[in-house]
Amino acid sequence: MNAQDHVIMTYLIECEGDPLAYATKIASDQSTGTFVDLPGETPELKARVAARVLEVREISPIARASIPQTAGGGPYRRAEADIAFPMEAIGDDLAALMTITVGGVFSIRGFTGIRVLRMQLPYGFGAAYPGPQFGINGTRQLTGVENRPIIGTIIKPALGLRPQETAEMVKELIASGVDFIKDDEKLCGPPYSSLEDRVAAIMPLIKDHEQRTGKKVMYAFNISHVDPDVMMRNHDVVATAGGNAAVININSIGQGSFLFLRKRSRLALHAHRNGWDILTRHPGLGMNFSVYQQYWRLLGVDQFQINGIGSKYWEPDDSFIQSFHDLALPLQAEKQSPMPVVCSGQWGGQAPETYRRTGRTLDLLYLCGGGVVSHPGGPGAGVKAVRQAWEAAQEGIELDVYARSHPELKQALEKFGRPS
C-alpha cells in the first residue's frame, strides 16, 4: 500500500467480541461490500478501491459500555484501528470523504462505542479547497494589532437589543479600546434587529472611530442563514457598508454552504461551532476535534472558536489545549493558519495559564463577553483588565502582584475570582 494514495483513519472501537472483526467490517461496509457476497466484488476491483485494515491495537477493556442499552454484560474490548481508504474511491470531494470514512461507520451494528480519533490525509489533498482567506496574518492586518492577543468582546444580552440599543453599546465598547466585537451566535437576524438595520446603526460608529483615531475595530456581524443565497446577500450588506468580518454558525448551515460563501467572500469568517459538542462530548462516541477541524480549515475558516481555560461549558481544559495545538498543525495542502479564538467565560484571569499551555504564543483572539461587559468599572475597565492580565502573563508576573499597580485588573479579580 502506498500511503500517498490513501487516507488513513484511526477509530476507537468498543465492542463485545473481537475488535479486529469490527475493523474488518468497517473496511468492507465502507468500500465494496454489503451484507451478502456479491458477484461483481472481484479481486481486481478490490485491489483498486477496497479499504484495508492496517493495524488493530487493543487497549484496556472497560467495564461499562458507552452505549449500555444495547449491550450485554461486559467487560467491553477496545482497540484503536487504523484503516486505509484508497483516494481512488474518494476523489477530492470532502463530502465523499465524510460519507466514506465517517458517515456510514456509525451505522454498523454491534459497536458499544465508536469514535473517529485521527485522520491522516495524503500529501497534497485539499489543494482544490480555498483554506483561510485572512487567518492569523489577515486578522492582524485588518485589526492593526501586533505583539499581543487581539482582544474581543460580544454584544450582551445576546438577544433582545434593538439596533439602536446595540449601537449604544457598540459606542461604549469602541471607546473601551477593544479590537474586535461580535454579534452573539444566537442573533441571526430576527424581526426586531434585521442585519440591514444593525449594519446601518453600527458601521458609521466603526468608521467614525477609524477616521478620528486610525484604529478600525473589527465587527463580526452574524450573517448566518440556512439559505446560502440569503447569506450571500447578508455578506454583501456588510461588505458594502465597509465591514470586514462575519460570524458563521458553521454546523447550522453546513459545509457546502460555508464553501459557497467562502468562494465569494471578502470578509474574515469567524466560525462558531455550536452543535459540535454533540459530536465530541462522549469520549467513546463521535469524533475528535483534530478530524473535524481539518474539514473546516480546508473550507476556509479564518477565525475558529475553540473555548478556553476554565470555560463556562462542559469542555475540560485539556481538550481546549489539544484543540489549540490541532489548529496549529499544518494541513497536507499549503494553507495559512486560522486564528484561534479563545472564548467562553473568559475575563483575563485565565491569561497566564492560556499563555503557558499554548506554547507562549500571542497569536490568538481572546474573546470575553460577560467578562468585559460586566466589569464593575464598565467595558472600558474590562478591556484594560484583560490587557493587563495578558501583560502579566507575558512578563511572568502573578496576577495578584500585577493587580497591585493595575486597579482594573484588581477589580476583575475581585469580581470574577480566579479559576480553580
In the region spanning residues 345 to 404, those forming contacts with its own copies, defined by CB under 8 A, are 345, 369-371, 373-374
Least distance in angstroms from the C-beta of 138 to its own copies: 23
Stretch that binds its own copies, among 13-21, 118-126, 222-230, 317-325 (CB under 8 A): 222-230
Look at the chain and count its residues.
420
Of the candidate residues 56, 90, 238, 301, the single one contacting its own copies (CB under 8 A): 90
**269 part of the interface to its own copies, by CB under 8 A:** no
List, in sequence order, every residue forming a beta bridge with 337; answer none if it has no partner.
none
Site for its own copies in 245-264 (CB under 8 A): 249, 251-260, 263
**288 part of the interface to its own copies, by CB under 8 A:** no
DSSP 211: H
Helix or strand run (H / E) with residue 340: strand 339-342
Residue 113 or 136 having the CB closest to its own copies: 113
| 122 cis-preceded (ω within 30 degrees of 0) | no
Least distance in angstroms from the C-beta of 145 to its own copies: 25
Instruction: Find, among 284, 320, 278, the residue nearest to 117 by Cα.
Output: 284
C-alpha 145: how far from its chain's center? Answer: 22
Binding mask 4-23 for its own copies (x = CB under 8 A): --------------------
Residue 155 or 245 having the CB closest to its own copies: 155
Least distance in angstroms from the C-beta of 245 to its own copies: 18
Residue 95 or 401 having the CB closest to its own copies: 95
List, in sequence order, every residue forming a beta bridge with 151; answer none if it has no partner.
366
Binding mask 181-210 for its own copies (x = CB under 8 A): ----xx-xxxxx------------------
Cell, residue 87: 483516494
**231 part of the interface to its own copies, by CB under 8 A:** yes
**170 part of the interface to its own copies, by CB under 8 A:** no
Residue 123 or 192 having the CB closest to its own copies: 192
Q: Distances from the Cα of 420 to the Cαs of 119, 310, 417, in angstroms?
A: 34, 8, 9
Q: CA 66, 71, 72: angle at the middle one, nearest 5?
A: 130
Amino acid at 268: A
**180 part of the interface to its own copies, by CB under 8 A:** no
Question: Count of residues binding its own copies (CB under 8 A)?
Answer: 102
Q: How far apart, in whole angstroms, are the C-alpha atoms of residue 112 and residue 110?
A: 6
Q: 288-327 b/e with 16+ CB inside 10 Å = b?
A: bbbbbbbbbbbbbbbbbbbbbbbbeeebebebbbebbebb
Of the candidate residues 208, 229, 400, 414, the single one contacting its own copies (CB under 8 A): 229
Q: How far apart, in whole angstroms, are the C-alpha atoms of residue 135 and residue 407?
A: 34
Residue 136 or 279 having the CB closest to its own copies: 279
Least distance in angstroms from the C-beta of 369 to its own copies: 6
Residue 117 or 397 having the CB closest to its own copies: 117
Cell, residue 119: 485522520
Least distance in angstroms from the C-beta of 410 to its own copies: 18
Q: How far apart, in whole angstroms, are the C-alpha atoms of residue 340 and residue 364?
A: 5
**332 part of the interface to its own copies, by CB under 8 A:** no
